[in-house]
């Protein structure tokens, strides 16, 4: 770089710049370090024996033959863990059942005890010297089951007379929540000129990560502590769960996270398998590793969505919304986890009214137990379900009232003058210019030019549809405090530790850029360290909180470090601190030629470094929003739907790295397209067996879908007021906007083809068979 280069290194690599991800070099060169890459001496391998039945009593478990198999070092049943005092995992809390009692769930254990409740539930853990030996021994385990009545269908499970998963949950309702006023909503509906009603299913999907779940537990040499290396988004949370279950103090357990090949919410919190691996290592005092195969992930990782809703919208003669009424059944699977219940009964409802000025609501949400894998967080976690309902209602209301769908949205948007705005769920939006974002989205998509494109598609024998979604989402996990440590080293590096976690989203690069903003040094001088409970603990990465909470904490921590270093420099200069200035990694004194480098200053300290431990908070969640526009073509003879154009304008506040943000938005949109068109977990209603147990049976977006030309823009004109950076969460926004935009486009194609009556009946996934059948109707 030339001395007179106008773009200095810090400027080129600070926030606002499309810095290439620092994480990628190691990953592309094959030097990344995933859990399965670590091979300690004396490593053993664990294989789970899983339930082949959706619901059964465990009559007996015979481990005698398996124990005699070559290489076996330990075998454990659920009864063994109960006898050892291993506690069940916590269930739902804070919610009520219909009778007013507390929410309930069957006790979920690391290994099933007395009863299994879904196909794939772990029953026995087999540990052997090699994977092959563990698999062979697992085949020799004999479990005698007594089959029990089962139910996997959501609606059937909530019906009178359905098989009971838990006696304390009549009609299998584990918990429910009511929001708003039923009386006021009924009154508003009685005055409505138009009432629009839809029955909508958000189908069950899997969170398909490139790297499956993986856990390696070991005994730390010298300390005897339990050390767990794993693929997770929340190392601190896993440590807490393991300690609670096994009965260890937190100081006795360390959780370390290396590279993570995707999380999407599925790797938040602990699983039964994590606790089982930790227990085996604790007892055997040997390293134990378990890496899920793809079939295990389909069977036992947390699934997403699975909600059936009846939604009604009341409007006056001018199309202004008077009230919204929703009753939803949410399938939480065989165990009602706190996360699975909260997502559907609380978090989704927080954004249900979205960007629209709706004051009167009646929400009734029920969490239903079934003999299927538990559901939990998956990209968007409740917000995609809620926004899908709202945007489907808006488009159907436009068709039924005859009001243009863009005009209908304009009439109901919350206005900037209403900010801060409190929605019916008592959630406060700090900022938002929703009409402005929509106008930009329409221009980017060339909304007015659609008719010409539709005519061209018609000439080619295809139906073309245009879909839109205007929406917002909540981010943050409602955990607003974060701790970072900053260490300035004399060897010329700045180490920044944060408890937020990398999972492929590029957060380390963004955090480094924020440190560059403050320290004014080249980015290669910044080392971001994540994923180690010995270095620090925090909530982790979920709910799109990593940047606005973790990034804000890094920025504040860096500023505190510079301020502390300024005080140290002042002592070296024997000058007043207010006369000491910092720039480009050096301190100077006003009016003199005195100069001292930051790293040189660190070397002068008794500790050999400048170290600052900083904890800071943001003041609330962020409310990113967007306008997503999708165009589809339908091949009528086959029913095949193709996404031919996708445009979006996204208000994500200040953008730290536009390349990473675009990647998050487009990647999220592809996942939303996957749910809209392809993905669906299917259980056989007669046997309770998963039908979609592998990628041979479960369809996901392919490269040709991902190759759609995405036109993606960010609007930075409305920074968030709840954090010092002005940023808003972005990781889930694309997924939330894509499903309604795609399905609304297909419904629009139906309406334009004279089949408007079929539009409200469309259900995801819009497979070729479903679309073809709807066209024939």
Q: What is the pTM of this model?
A: 0.95
Which residue's structure tokens are 């919410």? Answer: 265
Q: Would you place residue 479 in the very low, low, confident or very high pLDDT band (cuts 50, 70, 90)?
A: confident
Closest listed residue to residue 45, CA positions, set 139, 134, 111, 136: 134
Q: Would you place residue 93 in the very low, low, confident or very high pLDDT band (cuts 50, 70, 90)?
A: confident
**Residue 630 pLDDT exceeds 60:** yes
**Residue 537 pLDDT exceeds 90:** no
pLDDT at 3: 38
Higher pLDDT, 476 or 640: 640
Compute the distance between CA of residue 641 and CA of residue 133 in angstroms, rounded to an integer: 47
Mean pLDDT of 424-452: 98
Q: Would you place residue 9 in the very low, low, confident or very high pLDDT band (cuts 50, 70, 90)?
A: low
Rg (CA), the chain: 28
Compute the distance between CA of residue 211 and CA of residue 36 in angstroms, rounded to an integer: 10
**Residue 326 pLDDT exceeds 60:** yes
Neighbouring residues of 213: CB distance < 8 A, sequence distance ≥ 6: 230, 231, 267, 271, 273, 291, 292, 297, 301
Q: Would you place residue 5 in the very low, low, confident or very high pLDDT band (cuts 50, 70, 90)?
A: very low
With 0-12 CB in 10 A as exposed, 13-18 as middle and 19+ as buried, what is 616? buried
pLDDT at 466: 98
Mean pLDDT of 483-506: 94
Q: Would you place residue 10 in the very low, low, confident or very high pLDDT band (cuts 50, 70, 90)?
A: low
Q: pLDDT tens digits for 689-737?
A: 999 999 999 999 988 775 678 999 999 999 999 999 999 999 999 999 9
**Residue 62 pLDDT exceeds 80:** yes
pLDDT at 2: 40
Higher pLDDT, 336 or 506: 336
Q: What residues form DSSP beta bridges with 498?
A: 484, 530
The mean-pLDDT minimum among 90-94, 312-316, 569-573 falls in 90-94
Helix (H, G, I), strand (E, B) or coil at 536: coil
* pLDDT, the chain, mean: 95
Domains of the chain: 9-31+477-617 (3.30.365.10), 37-148+229-293 (3.90.1170.50), 150-207+302-378 (3.30.365.10), 413-423+432-475+622-777 (3.30.365.10)
Closest listed residue to residue 34, CA positions, set 503, 498, 544, 500: 503
CB 715 within 8 A of CB 650: yes
Compute the distance between CA of residue 203 and CA of residue 374 in angstroms, rounded to an integer: 14
Mean pLDDT of 664-668: 95
pLDDT at 581: 96
**Residue 103 pLDDT exceeds 80:** yes
Q: pLDDT tens digits for 385-420?
A: 999 999 999 999 999 999 999 999 999 999 999 999
The mean-pLDDT minimum among 7-21, 169-183, 370-384 falls in 7-21
Q: pLDDT tens digits for 12-25?
A: 678 889 899 999 89
Q: pLDDT tens digits for 579-612?
A: 999 999 999 999 999 999 999 999 999 999 999 9
Neighbouring residues of 546: CB distance < 8 A, sequence distance ≥ 6: 500, 501, 505, 507, 731
**Residue 91 pLDDT exceeds 80:** yes
Compute the distance between CA of residue 458 and CA of residue 462 in angstroms, rounded to an integer: 5
Q: Would you place residue 39 in the very low, low, confident or very high pLDDT band (cuts 50, 70, 90)?
A: very high
**Residue 1 pLDDT exceeds 70:** no
**Residue 536 pLDDT exceeds 90:** no
On the question of a cis peptide bond just before residue 765, with omega within 30 degrees of 0, the verdict is yes
Q: What are the distances in angstroms from CA 369 to CA 185, 525, 698?
A: 29, 52, 23
Which residue's structure tokens are 């598609």? Answer: 457
What does the block give as tokens for 202? 């958000």
CB 140 within 8 A of CB 124: no
Q: Would you place residue 8 in the very low, low, confident or very high pLDDT band (cuts 50, 70, 90)?
A: low
What distance lies between CA 774 and its chain's CA centroid?
33
pLDDT at 425: 98
Mean pLDDT of 533-548: 86
Closest listed residue to residue 42, CA positions, set 275, 165, 216, 164: 216
CB atoms near residue 167 (< 10 Å): 8
Q: Would you place residue 11 in the very low, low, confident or very high pLDDT band (cuts 50, 70, 90)?
A: low
pLDDT at 709: 82
pLDDT at 634: 97
Compute the distance between CA of residue 720 and CA of residue 728 in angstroms, rounded to an integer: 6
Compute the distance between CA of residue 42 and CA of residue 218 in angstroms, rounded to an integer: 10
């Amino acid at each position: 770089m030339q001395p007179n280069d106008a773009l200095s290194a810090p400027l080129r690599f600070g926030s606002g710049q499309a810095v290439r991800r620092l994480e990628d070099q190691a990953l592309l060169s094959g030097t990344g370090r995933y859990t399965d890459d670590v091979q300690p001496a004396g490593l053993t391998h664990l294989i789970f024996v899983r339930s082949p039945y959706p619901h059964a009593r465990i009559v007996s478990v015979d481990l005698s033959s398996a124990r005699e198999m070559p290489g076996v070092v330990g075998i454990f049943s659920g009864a063994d863990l109960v006898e050892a005092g291993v506690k069940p995992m916590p269930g739902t809390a804070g919610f009520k059942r219909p009778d007013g009692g507390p929410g309930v769930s069957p006790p979920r254990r690391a290994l099933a005890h007395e009863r299994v409740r879904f196909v794939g539930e772990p029953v026995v853990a087999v540990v052997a010297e090699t994977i092959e030996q563990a698999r062979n021994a697992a085949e020799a385990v004999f479990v005698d089951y007594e089959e029990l009545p089962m139910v996997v269908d959501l609606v059937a499970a909530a019906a009178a007379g359905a098989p009971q998963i838990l006696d304390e949950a009549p009609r299998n309702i584990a918990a429910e929540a009511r929001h708003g006023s039923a009386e006021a909503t009924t009154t508003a509906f009685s005055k409505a000129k138009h009432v629009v009603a839809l029955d909508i299913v958000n189908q069950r999907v899997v969170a398909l990560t490139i790297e499956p779940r993986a856990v390696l537990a070991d005994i730390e040499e010298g300390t005897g502590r339990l050390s767990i290396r794993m693929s997770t988004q929340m190392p601190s949370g896993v440590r807490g769960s393991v300690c609670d279950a096994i009965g260890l103090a937190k100081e006795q357990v360390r959780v370390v996270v290396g590279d993570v090949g995707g999380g999407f919410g599925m790797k938040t919190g602990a699983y039964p398998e994590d606790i089982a691996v930790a227990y085996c290592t604790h007892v055997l005092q040997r390293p134990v590793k378990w890496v899920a195969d793809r079939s295990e992930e389909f069977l036992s990782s947390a699934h997403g969505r699975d909600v059936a809703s009846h939604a009604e919208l009341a409007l006056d003669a001018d199309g202004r919304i008077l009230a919204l009424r929703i009753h939803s059944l949410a399938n939480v699977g065989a165990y009602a986890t706190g996360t699975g219940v909260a997502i559907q009964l609380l978090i989704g409802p927080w954004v249900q009214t979205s960007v629209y000025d709706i004051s009167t609501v009646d929400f009734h949400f029920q969490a239903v137990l079934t003999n299927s894998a538990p559901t939990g967080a998956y990209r968007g976690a409740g917000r995609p379900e809620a926004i899908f309902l709202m945007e489907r209602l808006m488009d159907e209301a436009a068709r039924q009232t005859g009001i243009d769908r863009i005009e209908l949205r304009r009439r109901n948007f919350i206005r900037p003058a209403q900010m801060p705005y409190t929605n019916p769920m008592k959630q406060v939006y700090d900022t938002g210019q929703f009409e402005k974002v929509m106008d930009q989205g329409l221009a980017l998509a060339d909304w007015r030019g659609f008719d010409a494109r539709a005519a061209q598609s018609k000439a080619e024998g295809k139906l073309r549809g245009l879909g839109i979604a205007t929406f917002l989402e909540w981010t943050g996990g409602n955990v607003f405090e974060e701790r970072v440590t900053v260490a300035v080293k004399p060897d010329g590096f700045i180490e920044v530790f944060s408890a937020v976690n990398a999972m492929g989203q590029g957060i380390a690069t963004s955090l480094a850029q924020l440190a560059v903003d403050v320290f004014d040094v080249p980015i290669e001088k910044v080392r971001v360290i994540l994923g180690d409970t010995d270095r620090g603990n925090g909530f982790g990465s979920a709910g799109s909180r990593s940047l606005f909470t973790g990034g804000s904490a890094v920025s504040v921590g860096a500023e505190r470090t510079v301020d502390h270093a300024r005080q140290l420099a002042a002592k070296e200069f024997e000058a007043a601190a207010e006369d000491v200035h910092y720039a480009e990694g050096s301190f100077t004194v006003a009016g003199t030629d005195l100069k001292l480098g930051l790293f040189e200053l660190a070397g002068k300290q008794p500790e050999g470094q400048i170290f600052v431990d900083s904890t800071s908070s943001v003041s609330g969640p962020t409310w990113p929003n967007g306008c997503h526009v999708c165009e589809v073509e339908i091949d009528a003879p086959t029913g095949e739907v193709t996404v031919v154009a996708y445009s979006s304008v996204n208000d994500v506040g200040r953008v730290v790295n536009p390349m990473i943000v675009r990647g998050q938005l487009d990647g999220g949109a592809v996942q939303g397209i996957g749910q809209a068109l392809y993905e669906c977990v299917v259980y056989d209603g007669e046997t309770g067996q998963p039908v979609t147990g592998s990628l041979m049976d479960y369809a996901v977006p392919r490269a040709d879908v991902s190759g759609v030309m995405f036109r993606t823009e960010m609007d930075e004109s409305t920074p968030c007021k709840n954090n010092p950076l002005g940023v808003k969460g972005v990781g889930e926004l694309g997924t939330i906007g894509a499903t309604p935009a795609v399905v609304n486009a297909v419904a629009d194609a139906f309406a334009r083809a004279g089949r408007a009556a079929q539009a409200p009946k469309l259900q995801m996934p819009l497979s070729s068979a479903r679309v073809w059948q709807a066209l024939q109707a």
